Structure 1
Amino acid sequence: MDKKEFWQLIDSAKKASNGDQALQEKKLISSLQIFGPEEIIDFECILCELLIEADDFGIMAAQKIIDGYVSDDTYLYFRCWLVGQGDEVFRAAIDKPDTLAAVLEAPYQDFEELLYVATCAFKKQTGKKEEDDSFPREVAAARGLDYDSGSVTKGEDWTESQLPKMLPKLWKKFG
């Protein structure tokens, strides 16, 4: 699986779910489980790469404005939500986080469930019940794709007083 196929799966599931993340998760799992184990692992690796790419102080500032706080978990789940919005929204936000003001209607956006899609699909595809070193997240981590502890936040750190000027559209909507 390549990034184009990854984004096609994300976009297709998002479109079919009409904003219902539980349905989006189910659609992703059912679409992904028809692939072979290596392609499911590729999906997980691409997801990890994107979560690492989105580990940026600009994205963190956007989440701070939108939700009012940032913690390790909420920041990760927000980045999952960002990936779940599809390639176009993801790329725009990476380039200019303030573009999220046009996408978001409500605060507290997260899509934690995206972290488990490849594992669920892998279990269904292989019939394995117990996780081991062959599972997607373990393989991704072994390849150095650890979005939890191996990633370093990119960009320039900020203070709360900088947020209104840094992301004016988001600040106007959620600040």
Structure 2
Amino acid sequence: MSVDEFWTIVAKARQSAGDSSDAEEVAERTLALLSALPPEQIAALARPLWDLRARSYRWELWQAAYLINGGCSDDGFEYFRGWLLAQGRETFELAVADPDTLAELLAVQRVAADGEDLECESMYGVVWDAYEAATGSIELPCPVTGRYPELGPGWDFEDADEVRRRLPRLAALFAD
């Protein structure tokens, strides 16, 4: 299975959701679609999901999550990226390439107004949850191992000038 196949399943889940902006509902629909597959096919999606998680492990995206959610721990960044996966391929690809594009999303604009967090822990582990639902085991036949890439040099997420320089649209949206 490939990244393309993973995104096809997410697209179907988004189409079948009553509210495609509801990440938890998209995660539930994704889990249902995955759980209907043979266990080998479910397990084969673990690597593509891991690759997407690794690809989105970037300082700039973490800064965006920090700004959007009013802070962002290690786990918070994982769950934010779960939310991002539930938004679909186009949004994910744009945000990974340029996290400042998140300022264009209605969900992010709503968060700026009401302070809600954008997180979806269940989407982040949907392949493992589907495999467990299908087999009763959390042990994949071919375990996925790896390390996240280096984040590179960091910066102070509280430095307003640096935030405005790196993420101008998000900084303007979340200005105090």
| Cα deviation digits, residues 41-89 of structure 1 (max 9, x gap) | 1222211111111110110111121122121110110111111111111
Partner of residue 4, structure 2? 4
Query: What one-letter code is carried by the residue in structure 2 that aligns with 1:173?
Result: L
Q: Displacement, 1:10?
A: 1.0
In structure 2, C-alpha distance between the alignment counterparts of 1:40 and 1:76, rounded to whole Å: 21
1:24–1:163 distance in 2 versus 1, CA, 3 Å: same
* Secondary structure, counterpart of 1:140 in structure 2: coil
Structure 1 counterpart SS, 2:54: helix
Match of 2:140 among 118, 124, 134: 134
User: What's the RMSD between the two structures over aligned residues?
Assistant: 1.9
Structure 1 match to 2:155: 158
Which secondary structure does the structure 2 equivalent of 1:120 belong to?
Answer: helix
Question: Alpha-carbon deviation of 1:100?
Answer: 0.3
The answer to whether residue 172 in structure 2 is matched with residue 172 in structure 1 is: yes
Contact conserved, 2:27 with 2:86, CA < 8 A, in 1?
A: no
1:24-103, aligned counterparts within 5 Å?
Answer: 24-103=26-105
Matched, 1:122 2:131: yes
Q: Match for residue 147 of structure 1?
A: none
Structure 1: runs of 5 or more not aligned: 145-149
Residue identity matched to 1:134:
L
- Using the alignment, how far apart are the partners of 1:15 and 1:153 within structure 2? 35
CA distance 1:5–1:108, shift in 2 (3 Å): same
Whole-angstrom distance in 2 between the partners of 1:174 and 1:10: 29
Q: How many pairs does the alignment contain?
A: 163
CA contact (8 A) 2:131 2:140 kept: no
Structure-2-length-normalised TM-score? 0.83
Counterparts of 1:52 and 1:94 in 2: how far apart (Å)? 11
Is the 8 Å Cα contact of residues 11 and 86 (structure 1) preserved in structure 2?
A: yes
Contact 1:64 1:70 in 2 (8 A): yes
Percent identical pairs in the alignment equals 28
Q: What 5-or-longer segments of structure 2 have no aligned partner?
A: none
